[in-house]
Each structure stands twice: as structure tokens, then as C-alpha cells.
């Protein structure tokens, strides 16, 4: 326990959650997640684009679970198939536009979209929900 710095509940939760997955086998969206949220909003396939990309925050009696103080969200296993199907069925709506102000181009957004679909496919194939950390 020499790695405990602040000793607060969020830090302990970070250690506990890390025991539940292998950080070396993570899959993710890297820095494209913000643009992906905006793209999904523009596609008009959900009013919950943030939750599809980041998951739902865990809040209990006003206490927000945020180990690492960077963000954590959950997608319930029961929601995975529906969201995956909506994402895959709506892929044709992606717009081939260049986003100059961030130096991220449409190919990267499409790659991130496909990565998100693959995250959902993997979870569905295992019958799991998804824990998103960022």
C-alpha cells in the first residue's frame, strides 16, 4: 500500500476497480471521444450520446464514484445490444468532414466510431456491460 497518496475513498476505489480488469488489455477511443459524442449528436440517433460514449456515472446518495478523478461510467449489460445495433445501423450517417481546429479528420472519427462499435460487440459477445474510464 505504499502507492496510496491521498488515502481518500476515490483512490481506494481506483485500486479496487483496477483489480477487476487488466489495464494492459483495455480498448478505447483515445482523444477522439469528444468529437465522437458531437458526431453521434449530429446523427440524431439518440439523445444520450454522452452515455453511449462515456457510460452513466455512478451516483449513490449524492456521492459520485470517480476513481482517479478523471471520470468513470457504466453501460449496463441489458443496454449493450440495443446501443450496438443502433450504432452499426446508423454508421452510414457519418459525415465525411474535416475538423480543422482539432487536427482530427473524418477518417479518425470514423475509426473511433468503428472502435466504439467494436467495444459494444466485444461486450455483447461476452454478455457483459461496459466500464468506461477516462
Q: With beta carbons less than 8 A apart as the criterion, state whether 57 and 129 touch.
A: no
For residue 2, tell me if it sits in a domain.
Answer: no
Q: Maximum CA pair distance of the chain? A: 50
Count how many Cα atoms sit within 13 Å of the Cα of residue 91 in the half-sphere of its side chain: 15
| Per-residue confidence in pLDDT tens, the chain, 134 aa | 456 566 666 666 666 666 666 666 667 777 788 888 988 998 999 999 999 998 887 777 776 665 455 667 889 999 999 999 999 999 988 865 555 555 555 778 888 999 999 999 999 999 998 887 76
**Which domain covers residue 82, as residue numbers?**
9-133
Distances (CA, A) of 102 to 9, 35, 87: 35, 9, 24
For residue 122, tell me if it sits in a domain.
Answer: yes
User: Which pTM value belongs to this model?
Assistant: 0.77
Exposed / middle / buried, residue 130 (Cβ in 10 Å: 0-12, 13-18, 19+)? buried
For residue 64, tell me if it sits in a domain.
Answer: yes
Q: Domain count for the chain, please give it.
A: 1
Amino acid at each position: 500500500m505504499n502507492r496510496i497518496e491521498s488515502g481518500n475513498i476515490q483512490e481506494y476505489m481506483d485500486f479496487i476497480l483496477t483489480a477487476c480488469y487488466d489495464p494492459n488489455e483495455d480498448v478505447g477511443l483515445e482523444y477522439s471521444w469528444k468529437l465522437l459524442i458531437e458526431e453521434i449528436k449530429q446523427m440524431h440517433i439518440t439523445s444520450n450520446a454522452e452515455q453511449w460514449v462515456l457510460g452513466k456515472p455512478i451516483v449513490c446518495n449524492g456521492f459520485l464514484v470517480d476513481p482517479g478523478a478523471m471520470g468513470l461510467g457504466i453501460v449496463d449489460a441489458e443496454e449493450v445490444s440495443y446501443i450496438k445495433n443502433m450504432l452499426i445501423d446508423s454508421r452510414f450517417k457519418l459525415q465525411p468532414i474535416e475538423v480543422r481546429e482539432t487536427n482530427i479528420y473524418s477518417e479518425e472519427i470514423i475509426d473511433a466510431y468503428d472502435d466504439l462499435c467494436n467495444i459494444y460487440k466485444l461486450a455483447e459477445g461476452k454478455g457483459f456491460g461496459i466500464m468506461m474510464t477516462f
